[in-house]
């Protein structure tokens, strides 16, 4: 085998898009990711584990908000009907009476059976794969808060970290040691809070390590350790670009399925309305391939056989590339290098339909090309020497720093987070007088965390569903201030009013007000 190893790191996250309204856009986000990404990923890893010829290793972070959605009984009950509605729409469409349509129908039915085989207990399957040492499960900040923009109130950062750790332990029976920092965003001193929360390792973008002090001798090809004892692994762009880039990488191949052309845009609005669907939007029903034509209207029908052949070729190309890269680095550095390839998990299956098949192929072909996989946990457990380094502020977002989450479209919310965070710290530090007020304070903590989600800031910058993002931010902030006012008021809040909020934003059942206790 080639010396050196490859670590695939997937970040699985969705904002808290639980909706009481079946058929909502927010519900679609979750169910599409479940159907196209999480279920196929589990299937691929489980099949690879069951093969005697393969040794799959993946580090994957499961965000607390995603775990909440995966465990929600209402959403579990709705998912099969959501899938069956799409199968019905597919069968009615004249555009689906071809090989592409038959393949799509077969694949949807397959994933529905995949879901039914475990009665929707997806989290248990992740847990089992960790026990088999195929997965290293990490956490993420509670609601994917962009931590550098919360640093003015350190307790707000601690609230995100502590709540996340408690949720991970609730679902998996043990505290996580690894964390995916939202957007790989780092600021000086964050490692101190991580250590205080008993977190031990994470991933940063390459420049966060290369611009660190002192500059690490082995660059991004070995993890670094800070003076606070936190290990950081650095993203290797050479290992990631071929997989995530639609322009320069595999997903843009003409044979692969086109993401943007969806039957949801073609079905008459009136027909969708009769089924309770709120207007034209993507339904996850895609029958065309990328093709070489530019216009979205000029796409050829998807050919699953050609796509499957292309997946095998691209997996081979990727492994050959990593082998050459490792050999070159060994010659140049004299060490056994580690390549870190982190991705959003939703790339595999949702954004890039063939992504799970690609993972299955690289696990299958890895032995032939003498490429070895590892997880971050396993690498650290091998007690290899770490480079001493203090990382620099960075992110893996556009521009490499914080500007995507701090600009003219979304900067206004930072001040709102700051005011609410300080009020939360003050109230938690002073304490409350009775059990009802403690519940009110805990609910205020949930609303604060939900308002801090970086997803809404991202949407405001991206300019997509901006009204939805603004509504979510204002909704949670307004609820937060109403709850805080209820604690201070003599009239307070009735238990029925509180129960209504607890039911609607029913996340983080073990939330602890002490997490926001003032840091001196």
384 with 459, same domain? no
Domain identity same for 353 and 431: no
Domain that holds residue 110: 5-237+339-388
> Is 35 part of a structural domain of the chain?
yes
In a domain, 393, yes or no: no
Return d(Cα 61, Cα 345) in angstroms, integer.
9
> Would you say 252 is a known binding-site residue?
yes
| Domain identity same for 34 and 148 | yes
Catalytic one among 72, 344, 390, 502? 344
**Residue 20: what pLDDT?**
67
User: Order of strands, edge to edge, in the sheet holding 338-344?
Assistant: 179-180, 135-140, 58-62, 5-12, 338-344
36-83 confidence digits (pLDDT tens): 999 999 999 999 999 977 889 999 999 999 999 999 999 999 999 999
Asked if residue 185 and residue 90 are part of one domain, the reply reads yes
Backbone angles phi, psi at 24, to 5 degrees: -75, 160
Q: Looking at residue 273, what is its pLDDT?
A: 79
Residues 430 and 506 grouped into a single domain: yes
Of 318, 353, 388, the domain-final residue: 388
Tell me if residue 119 is catalytic.
no
Q: Are residues 32 and 101 in the same domain?
A: yes
Total domain count, the chain: 2
> In this predicted model, what pLDDT tens digit does every residue of 181-196 receive, in sequence order?
999 999 999 999 999 9
Active-site residue (options: 183, 262, 361, 515):
183
Helix, strand and coil percent figures for the chain, each rounded to 5: 55, 10, 35
Q: Which pLDDT score is estimated for 322?
A: 98
d(CA 32, CA 83): 9
Give the residue ranges of DSSP H helices in 291-395. Answer: 304-333, 355-365, 376-381
Distance of alpha carbon 392 from alpha carbon 14, whole angstroms: 27
Residues near 458 by Cβ (< 8 Å), separated by ≥ 6?
404, 405
Indicate whether 453 belongs to any domain: yes
Percent of the chain whose pLDDT exceeds 70? 99
Q: Is 313 a catalytic residue?
A: no
User: Are 355 and 416 part of one and the same domain?
Assistant: no
**Gap between the Cα atoms of 70 and 120, Å rounded:** 8
Q: What is the pLDDT of residue 276?
A: 75
Q: Which of 360, 388, 416 is the last residue of a domain?
A: 388
pLDDT value at residue 327 = 97
**3 state DSSP class of 484:** helix
Query: Do 232 and 377 lie in a common domain?
Result: yes
Asked if residue 51 and residue 170 are part of one domain, the reply reads: yes
pLDDT for 520: 64
- Asked whether residue 62 falls in the same domain as residue 179, the answer is yes
466 within a domain of the structure (yes/no): yes
Asked whether the beta carbons of 377 and 178 are under 8 A apart, the reply is yes
Q: Under a CB-based contact definition with an 8 Å cutoff, are residues 157 and 117 in contact?
A: no
Assigned domain for 295 exists: no
- Predicted model pTM: 0.97
Give yes or no: residues 376 and 444 share one domain.
no
Can you list the residues of the chain whose pLDDT is less than 50? none
- Please indicate, yes or no, if residue 266 is contained in any of the structural domains: no
Contact (CB, 8 A) for 236 and 206: yes
Is residue 503, in this structure, part of any structural domain at all? yes
User: 235 labelled as ligand-binding?
Assistant: yes
CA–CA distances in Å: residue 316 to residues 121, 320, 363: 34, 6, 10
d(C-alpha 298, C-alpha 452), whole Å: 41
Query: For the domain that residue 470 is a member of, what is the CATH number?
Result: 1.20.1430.10
pLDDT of residue 146: 98
Same domain flag for 508 and 371: no
455 is in an annotated binding site: yes
- Predicted local confidence at residue 15, as pLDDT: 96
Whether 300 maps to a domain, the answer reads no
């Amino acid at each position: 085998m080639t010396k050196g190893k490859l670590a695939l790191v997937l970040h699985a996250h969705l904002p808290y898009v639980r909706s009481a309204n079946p058929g909502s856009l927010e519900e679609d986000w979750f169910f599409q990711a479940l159907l196209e990404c999480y279920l196929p990923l589990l299937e691929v890893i489980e099949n690879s584990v069951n093969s005697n010829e393969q040794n799959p290793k993946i580090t994957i972070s499961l965000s607390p908000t995603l775990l909440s959605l995966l465990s929600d009984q209402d959403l579990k009950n709705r998912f099969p009907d959501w899938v069956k509605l799409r199968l019905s729409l597919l069968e009615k469409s004249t555009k689906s009476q071809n090989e592409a349509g038959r393949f799509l129908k077969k694949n949807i039915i397959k994933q529905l059976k995949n879901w039914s085989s475990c009665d929707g207990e997806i989290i248990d399957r992740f847990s089992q794969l960790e026990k088999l040492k195929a997965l290293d499960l990490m956490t993420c900040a509670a609601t994917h808060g962009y931590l550098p923009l919360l640093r003015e109130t350190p307790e707000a950062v601690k609230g995100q970290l502590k709540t996340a750790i408690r949720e991970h332990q609730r679902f998996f029976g043990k505290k996580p040691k690894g964390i995916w920092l939202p957007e790989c965003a780092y600021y000086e001193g964050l490692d101190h809070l991580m250590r205080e929360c008993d977190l031990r390792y994470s991933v940063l973008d390459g420049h966060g390590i290369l611009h660190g002090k002192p500059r690490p001798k082995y660059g991004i090809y070995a993890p670094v350790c800070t003076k606070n004892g936190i290990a950081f692994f650095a993203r290797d762009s050479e290992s990631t670009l071929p997989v995530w880039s639609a322009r320069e990488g595999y997903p843009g191949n003409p044979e692969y399925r086109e993401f943007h052309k969806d039957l949801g845009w073609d079905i008459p609005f009136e027909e969708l309305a009769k089924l309770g669907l709120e207007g034209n939007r993507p339904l996850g029903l895609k029958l065309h391939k990328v093709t070489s034509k530019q216009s979205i209207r000029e796409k050829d029908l998807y050919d699953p056989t050609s796509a499957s052949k292309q997946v095998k070729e691209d997996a081979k190309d990727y492994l050959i590339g990593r082998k050459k890269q490792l050999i070159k680095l060994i010659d140049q550095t004299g060490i056994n290098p580690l390549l870190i390839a982190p991705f959003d998990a939703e790339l595999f299956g949702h954004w890039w339909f063939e992504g799970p098949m690609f993972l299955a192929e690289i696990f299958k072909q890895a032995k032939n090309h003498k490429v070895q996989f590892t997880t971050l946990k396993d690498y650290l457990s091998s007690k290899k020497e770490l480079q001493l380094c203090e990382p620099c502020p960075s992110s893996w977002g556009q521009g490499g720093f914080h500007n995507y989450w701090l600009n003219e479209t979304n900067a206004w919310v930072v001040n709102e987070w700051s005011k609410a965070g300080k009020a939360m710290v003050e109230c938690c530090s002073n304490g409350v007088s009775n059990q009802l007020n403690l519940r009110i304070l805990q609910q205020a903590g949930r609303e604060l965390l939900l308002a801090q989600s970086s997803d809404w800031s991202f949407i405001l910058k991206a300019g997509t569903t901006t009204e939805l993002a603004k509504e979510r931010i204002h909704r949670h902030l307004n609820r937060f201030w109403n709850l805080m006012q209820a604690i201070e008021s003599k009239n307070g809040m009735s238990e029925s009013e509180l129960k209504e909020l607890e039911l609607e934003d029913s996340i983080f059942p073990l939330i602890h007000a002490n997490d926001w206790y003032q840091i001196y």
